[in-house]
Structure 1
Amino acid sequence: MTTGISRAQRITLALVCAVAVSTIYAIQPVLEKAGGDLGLAAGSLGWLVAAGQIGYFTGLVLLVPLGDVVNRRRLIGAQLTLTGLGAAVVAVAPNAVVAVIGLATAGVFAVVVQVTVAYAAAVSAPEERGRTIGAVTSGVVLGILGVRILAGALGDTIGWRAVYALLALLCLLLAVTARATLVPDPRTAGAQYFRVLGSMVHLVRTDRLFLSRGLITFFLFAAFGTLWSGLALPLGAAPWHFGSTAIGLFGFAGLAGALGASRAGRWADSGRAQAISGWSLALLTVSWLLIAQSEPTLWFLIAGIVLLDFAVQAVHVSSQHLLTTAHPSHASTVIGAYMSFYSLGSALGALTTAWAYSTHGWWASCVIGALYSLCALTIWGLARRNTQVAQSQRPTDHRVVSELG
């Protein structure tokens, strides 16, 4: 039975998400510095980014389902500790091979984020579930964008390793805090691990809500990755020539947009999750018109970043609210499978934005981002239409049953 969750516990869970996900993205603003220190050639720098993402995808498939098998409160503490261990390995890595191992390890166990979201949904009262998910997942965006600012600043002052040493320490402190302050995890009998893995495949094949939300998320985060993986390219080139610290400061614009969507959970609680998704995806598509304007002023670009991150967070919270409400008994499995779309979409955005920029410039990256956004909006529209058609047929079916009776 759910008894609700306090504000302090929401903050703890949000911090868990922020710190864990930061271990994946902290390398991006300091990539050149880290590569030079570790002796990597310029053409091999991508492995430092890919290691965390590959580890994360692996964890989504293999570890997140454990949240439906074992106690989530204990699992959060254990996975945070191992995430911190991976970050500590990166902080002291003598060469690139060890650094890649550390980044991959941190990525595997950073899926504590999804276990945390499932835990938050499980312990929340039904009327507060969307609010809680919104507060907790705001920590994800805080980590993804905030660590860019932190890593950029530390990379230009103390050194790139300092951010991983700090993240390792924070992971260990939060593991202890979570264990001491979180309420027991309500659940029925634990599921069988391999049966849970099989249910992930079954979800994709048979659940229309899950499939539509997964595809929306794939293109949503392909658009997100297009912006944030490629933004440093035009800002580091003429006429701006910004360094890593200045580029990292653009994370503030993303934070403003994401935090502006903090009420998305409350809107979802009121039954408006589908409507929120629709107008947010439309806003996401339009935001690229502003993001493409990187000269002669940056104000249009900044405004576009705010709009994009607002839209991404609003849709992300709404999707998780719908899915955890539809599948309360195995929320960890559903969230893990759902987030695999996020991981693949982010990777696609990172790859295509680099290719587009190198061949045709920033406008081409923005066109690709807008196309991803439009694909997500189209999928939402089709799913919405199919739902409305199905609902319109139900009264007819009832009348037929009544007449036959």
Structure 2
Amino acid sequence: MNPELDISQNKSLLWLMAMACGLCAGANYYCQPLVHSIQQYFDVPQSQVALTVTFAQVSYALGLLLIVPVGDIVNKTKFIPLLMFFAAIGLMLCAFAVNLPMLWIGTIITGLFSVAAQVLIPLATMAVKPEKTGEIVGFLMSGLLVGLLLSTSLAGLLSNLFNWKVIYAVSSILMLILAFLLKSRLPTVPTFKMSYGKIFQSMAKLLLEEKRLVYRALIGGCAFAAMSILFSTIAMLLTSQPFELPDVMVGVATLIGVFGALGTAKIGKIADRGYTNALTLIGVIILAISWGFLYLGGTSLISYILGYGIVSLGLAIVHTSNQNIIFRLRPDAKSRINSIYMTAYFTGGACGSALGVYAWHHGGWMLTCMVGFGLVLAAAFFALLDRLYLNKQQVSI
């Protein structure tokens, strides 16, 4: 790495990048606490509105697969603001939606192009010293996760004070402002000559050659699927009996997750010291414990809030450990590696959201919690396979 590119001491730029990550991530989750309000506004079945969460995650996964890898072969300084511009257009469509299909279209456009955050993070790892990779990734992930969690609270608050559409209009304007500020400040990092078609051939090769990338992608996908079950069911649970909370309180209930998100920079520093496997184990255990609290949360709001906070912490630990590992695999393919990992991650999220809706309508909160716990067990299984593979590699060396 060129020492002149090191941005680890440029705090103002790092804060801008963290805010951009948070805004991009949060843009896909505004509808979570608004399901009830959107249902009343458009007068459609609740299950149709709940699908908006799934559409957001599916489109985001497609953006990760089809757009993020391009980051390895284009000028990221121009590419990232361009993506944010198109995401702002999607948000504005949501703000002016006159029916549910128009909201879905805006949601899909937003999901596709808000992957700008997933181009920003590989750029950051290319512009810092290798020994600071975990710390910088952790800092940007703090911004991303805080933005994701605050998005639901702000969406509920603005819906309660004004209208559910306001959050989309405000975030669209903020997206444009951040895109403009970043355009002149992002560092220029090396790109690699490769055609668009060759990108996917190289990604297939990475999947075959980097077993740890595959295992870590599966761990992340299962862990995020477990969390995403809450994303698609939180409004349905907390707006019904015995809670019957308004939109703003549904959003406030998720704020406890911010504490786990704020810890990712510290988690990244620990991962930089080589404790990624131990952190993964701790994260999976925390995820498993969280579902006990969440199950009791079906009748206890305090238990639900505690469970939400614990599951957010567990996911932050697992995800930060995963990224610390994958970004060290191939320095010349960071965007493609991140694309593979995050595609699996958000595909898992989309599946988790869909499973959450299905479980809620067919077995209530008990089945929802059983599915969530089952996904945590799946993450633990792939973590075990990753550890066995790593031990095998160390023995062969």
Q: What is the rounded CA distance, in whole Å, between the counterparts of 1:258 and 1:194 in structure 2?
A: 36
The question of 1:306 aligning with 2:309 is answered yes
- Mark the structure with the bigger radius of gyration: 1
Give the secondary structure class of the aligned counterpart of 1:325: coil
The match for 2:65 is 61
Out of 92, 95, 99, the position equivalent to 1:91 is 95
**5 Å matches for 1:232-271?**
232-271=235-274
Q: 5+ unaligned residues in a row in structure 1: which ranges? A: 395-405
1:261–1:311 CA contact under 8 A, matched in 2: no
2:218–2:345 CA contact under 8 A, matched in 1: no
Out of 161, 166, 183, the position equivalent to 2:170 is 166
Aligned-pair RMSD on alpha carbons? 1.8
How far did residue 188 of structure 1 move? 4.8
Matched residue type, 1:250: A
Out of 328, 331, 334, the position equivalent to 2:331 is 328
The match for 2:158 is 154
**5 Å matches for 1:192-211?**
192-211=195-214
Q: What is the rounded CA distance, in whole Å, between the counterparts of 2:192 and 2:359 in structure 1?
A: 50
The match for 1:115 is 119
How far did residue 177 of structure 1 move? 0.9
Matched residue type, 2:346: S
Structure-1-length-normalised TM-score: 0.92
Segment of structure 1 superposing worse, 263-272 or 90-99: 90-99
Q: What is the rounded CA distance, in whole Å, between the counterparts of 1:357 and 1:187 in structure 2?
A: 48
Q: What is the rounded CA distance, in whole Å, between the counterparts of 1:310 and 1:2 in structure 2?
A: 34
Matched residue type, 1:279: I
Q: What is the rounded CA distance, in whole Å, between the counterparts of 1:364 and 1:135 in structure 2?
A: 35
Matched residue type, 1:191: M
**5 Å matches for 1:6-85?**
6-38=10-42, 40-85=44-89
Q: What is the rounded CA distance, in whole Å, between the counterparts of 1:226 and 1:145 in structure 2?
A: 15
Q: Deviations over 1:248-307 (max 9, x none)?
A: 111211111222343111011111122211111122112211221126543333222222
Q: What is the rounded CA distance, in whole Å, between the counterparts of 1:336 and 1:275 in structure 2?
A: 25
The match for 1:352 is 355
Q: What is the rounded CA distance, in whole Å, between the counterparts of 2:271 and 2:388 in structure 1?
A: 19
Segment of structure 1 superposing worse, 198-207 or 302-311: 198-207
Q: Deviations over 1:173-227 (max 9, x none)?
A: 0001111222x22215433221112222222333201110011011111111122
Out of 88, 102, 110, the position equivalent to 2:106 is 102
Matched residue type, 1:356: A
The match for 1:226 is 229
Q: 5+ unaligned residues in a row in structure 2: which ranges? A: none
The match for 2:297 is 294
The question of 1:274 aligning with 2:277 is answered yes
The match for 2:382 is 379
Segment of structure 1 superposing worse, 225-234 or 283-292: 225-234
Give the secondary structure class of the aligned counterpart of 1:111: helix
Q: What is the rounded CA distance, in whole Å, between the counterparts of 1:167 and 1:251 in structure 2?
A: 19
Matched residue type, 1:89: L
Matched residue type, 1:162: V
Matched residue type, 2:318: V
Q: 1:294 to 1:189 in 2, by over 3 A?
A: closer
Q: What is the rounded CA distance, in whole Å, between the counterparts of 1:128 and 1:58 in structure 2?
A: 30
Q: 1:153 to 1:269 in 2, by over 3 A?
A: same
2:267–2:317 CA contact under 8 A, matched in 1: yes
1:2–1:125 CA contact under 8 A, matched in 2: no
Q: 1:135 to 1:310 in 2, by over 3 A?
A: same
Count of residues in Structure 1 that have an aligned counterpart in Structure 2 = 393
Structure-2-length-normalised TM-score: 0.94
How far did residue 228 of structure 1 move? 2.7
2:33–2:234 CA contact under 8 A, matched in 1: no
